[in-house]
Amino acid sequence: MSTHRLQTVNELIAGSFGGAAQVIVGQPLDTIKTRTQTAPRGMFKGPMDVLLQTLRKEGFFALYKGMASPLAGIAGVNSLLFASYGVAKRVISPFPNKSLQEIASAGALAGAANAILASPVEMFKVRMQGQYGAITDKKLRVVVSEMWSQWGFRKGIMRGYWVTVAREIPAYAGFYTAYEFSKRKFATKYGENVPAWALLASGSTGGLAYWLSSYPLDVVKSRIQLANEPPRGTPIQYIIRDMKNIVVSEGIPGLFRGLTPSLIRSIPAAGSTFLAYEISREYLREFTGA
């Protein structure tokens, strides 16, 4: 196997470890974020009320609703993401030391590729998180079956794909650029052996940049994926239309509903993602030589 192919395989494997760490650490705050974005107006007073009502009415494990979809899928999503990022970096420049502009470009390309798997995984997660403990709540297999039988692959399983692409491109450009910038700052002090806490801090910086680069599009994506019917018109038309509807009904703050739990979640979730990835990647590099 060629060195580049072996590197890609190693990035796929290490990415799956990073994805698993991300879901386990970040799922409760992701549930709060999604419910804050999508709940009927007036149902909750804010993210803290979402947390308290969820715990009181549904119990602690309701914060992990929809985790089966991302836990099964995020490993694959992150595998694709990190492998795509590695391939994109090698395509953009054969030299090891990339500029931050090249890092941003590689991140944007990886984000576009990542949307292929991220869109269905998040669609099912959002629909599971959008259930509030009623007797009529559905199991994941039922949600999957209904979306497929009622709407098919494109309008059901892949609903929200294009808005996911629109979100992922700036999000991962910011994600990887902020991570690399922060990691390089630590490297000037510690050299190549950057300590684990510094990798966690760098990953957290990347996570914050991810949401700050793309959050209004995430709100639109969640609402499209939770809607009873698929959006009408071209992707540009329905993304702009949904943004306008949110601003008209809720003002500009409506485009940022749930941002606080997302930013809080990104600190441990993105940090653990990069830490798990870097540790796994280093072990595989030593084991395989690539």
Give the length of the chain.
290
Give the residue with greater pLDDT, 187 vs 64. Answer: 187
- Please, which pLDDT band fits residue 72 given cuts at 50, 70 and 90? low
- Return the half-sphere exposure (C-beta side, CA atoms, 13 A cut-off) of residue 189: 7
Give the pLDDT of residue 132.
Answer: 87
- Please, which pLDDT band fits residue 247 given cuts at 50, 70 and 90? very high
Q: Given a cut of 70, is residue 87 above it in pLDDT?
A: yes
Give the pLDDT of residue 5.
Answer: 85
- 271: tokens are 């940090």
Q: In a 3-state reduction of DSSP, which class is residue 159?
A: coil
The 8-class DSSP code of residue 155 comes to I
Residues in Cβ contact with 224 at an 8 Å cutoff, skipping those fewer than 6 apart? 159, 160, 163, 230, 231, 238, 242
Closest CA to 108 of 215, 214, 264: 214
Q: Look at 37-51, 65-79, 135-149, 251-265 and tell me which has the smallest mean pLDDT.
A: 65-79
Closest CA to 131 of 25, 243, 24, 43: 43
CB 30 within 8 Å of CB 288: no
Amino acid at 23: V
Q: Given a cut of 70, is residue 280 above it in pLDDT?
A: yes
Closest CA to 101 of 188, 174, 209: 174
Give the pLDDT of residue 278.
Answer: 92
What pTM was computed for the model? 0.87
Q: How far is CA 214 from the centre of its chain?
A: 11
Helix (H) or strand (E) holding 122: helix 100-129
**Residues 280, 111, 283, CA angle at the centre, nearest 5°?**
10
Q: Given a cut of 70, is residue 69 above it in pLDDT?
A: no
Q: In a 3-state reduction of DSSP, which class is residue 237?
A: helix
Give the pLDDT of residue 260.
Answer: 92
Which domains does the chain show, CATH number per domain? 3-288 (1.50.40.10)
- Which whole number is the average pLDDT over 145-174? 96
- 121: tokens are 């995984």
Q: Given a cut of 80, is residue 175 above it in pLDDT?
A: yes
